[in-house]
Copies of this chain bind each other. A is one copy, B any other.
Amino acid sequence: MQSAPLASSVGAASGDSVVSPLLPSCGGPRRNLFRFFASSRSESSLGAADGTKAAEKAPSAEASGDGAAGGGDVYRRLVSGTEGEKDFRVLLSKKSGERLSPWHDIPLFPNGRDARPLLFNMVVEIPKNTRRKMEMQLRLPFTPIMQDLKKDGSLREYASTLYWNYGAFPQTWEDPREPGGREVFHARGDGDPLDVVEIGSEVLPVGGVVPVKVLGALAMIDGGELDWKVLAIREGDPLFSQLNSVADVERLCRGVVPGIREWFRWYKLPTDNVVNQFGHDEAALPAADAERVVYRAHEHYLRLLSEEHEGEVEEGEAVRKEDEKESHRQEARGRNVAVYIETKERPPATGEAPADARQRETETKAGEKGEHVRKQKLWLP
């Protein structure tokens, strides 16, 4: 119980203020990491497949990874289309120019499993302080990062601006066939790569590949699906060496842990009328447990790759021409598969055919015994 400041000290000089100065990271100075990326325009066939002018579509390549000590490989961002429009897409490439999938072709461990501090690669999807819902498109060839679409075909933005960099760990997958324990209400994985929230001060670019140190994890539950949010700090951030635990974040970056939790609790209220929940009594799990969450999602990913799956996507599927051609060209490397998941959920009401291959990544239909079977389509190497 605290007393209200009703007996105000009228005579106090305003110079007496004890408001603490803003910390150097954790939301402080807003610098943009784009300037750390060597930028060069290079022409390739990607993005010109739909017949538009090559000049409009020529993807630009920028080196990603800032070459900090032990910072792992350098990747180039292959950008095509116009940011904020439907044709915008980001892939990665090696210096040789070979195209890389941000999900499949970036190693999870930039310096190996035994490096200390242990680092993981993060693929940036949504830069800090933006609202566009950029996401790896798991069913498209090379899983490019593109802006999500709403059911009506328009581009999806979050109701609220994300105050931190957001992305995914490559080569991870939260298996939707695997229910969790009681502490996460037995929720199953959401069928996506594992999400990561990077709390550093820099604005990271879409498609950036940055080595991060894991600090904790929140067990978000969204519509009965488990959707971990792993908290991490970028190698090279001014606070990198000082942040090693949830307690460090709470001490040096006050408000960041509850800020992230509350952002993810509320962001779907205006659009979906739901308030998300959290397992583990809403606590942020310690760093060691969070690392195990990453390991497990990596194991789920490796198991997914090793399994036998139903082959090429059916004919008649509303795949965009561009993507069909792309898929055809890359046949030797990739395969479109479907993963079947038994679920209690009801199928969504059938609507119009989706206008874009990004939509309807999953579909649900009635199974044999009144259960439903959800089909998730994925592009695997």
Q: Interface 1/0s, chain A 47-75, versus B by CB < 8 A?
A: 00000000000000000000000000000
Contacts of A283 in B (CB 8 A): 2
Determine if A4 and B186 form an interchain contact, defined as CB atoms under 8 angstroms apart.
no
Cβ–Cβ < 8 Å partners of A262 in chain B: 255, 258-259, 261-263
Are B274 and A22 within 8 A (Cβ)? Answer: yes
A163 x B258 contact (CB < 8 A): no
Q: Mark A1-43, 1 if CB is under 8 A from B, else 0.
A: 1111111111011111111101000111110000000000000
Please state if B20 and A277 are interface contacts (CB–CB under 8 Å).
Answer: yes
Can you list, as one digit per residue, whether each of A133-164 has a CB less than 8 Å from chain B (1) or not (0)? 00000000000000000000000000111010
Bitwise interface map of A from 180 to 220 toward B, beta carbon under 8 Å scored 1, else 0:
11111111100000000000000000000000000001010
**Bound CA–CA A185/B3 (angstroms):** 14
Contact B296 A187 (CB under 8 A): no
Is the C-beta of A289 less than 8 angstroms from some C-beta in chain B?
Answer: yes
Inter-chain CA distance A7–B181, complex, in Å, is: 7
A275 to B256, CA, bound (A): 10
Q: Nearest chain B CB to A232's CB is how many angstroms away?
A: 16
A7 proximity list for chain B (CB < 8 A): 181
Interface pair B279/A5, CB less than 8 Å apart: yes
Least Cβ distance of A181 to chain B in Å? 4
Contacts of A30 in B (CB 8 A): 273
Inter-chain CA distance A39–B96, complex, in Å, is: 67
- On chain B, the residues within 8 Å of A333 by CB distance are none
A2 to B30, CA, bound (A): 34
Task: State whether A269 touches B4 (Cβ < 8 A).
Answer: no
With both beta carbons as reference points, the residue of chain B lying nearest to A1 in the complex is identified as B286
B285–A181 CB distance below 8 A: no
Q: How far apart sit A78 and B29, CA to CA, in the bound complex (Å)?
A: 44
- Given A22-B275, A129-B269: A4 and B160 interface contact (C-beta under 8 Å): no
- Is A97's CB within 8 Å of the partner chain B? no
Do B163 and A266 have beta carbons less than 8 Å apart? yes
A334 in contact (CB, < 8 A): no
Does A243 count as interface, using CB distance less than 8 angstroms?
Answer: no
Using Cβ atoms and an 8 Å threshold, which residues of chain B touch A17?
A: 185-187, 224
Check A270 against B129 for contact (C-beta < 8 Å): yes
Q: Does A292 contact B (CB under 8 A)?
A: yes
State the CA gap A183–B4 with chains docked (Å).
Answer: 9
Contact with B along A312-338 (1 / 0, CB 8 A): 000000000000000000000000000
4 closest Cβ pairs, A-B complex: A160-B160, A4-B289, A262-B262, A5-B181
Q: A9-B179, A160-B160, A259-B262 are in contact. List 17 more A-B contacts (CB 8 A).
A: A1-B286, A4-B285, A4-B290, A5-B279, A9-B180, A10-B179, A12-B179, A15-B344, A17-B224, A26-B275, A29-B273, A159-B160, A159-B161, A255-B266, A258-B258, A258-B262, A259-B266
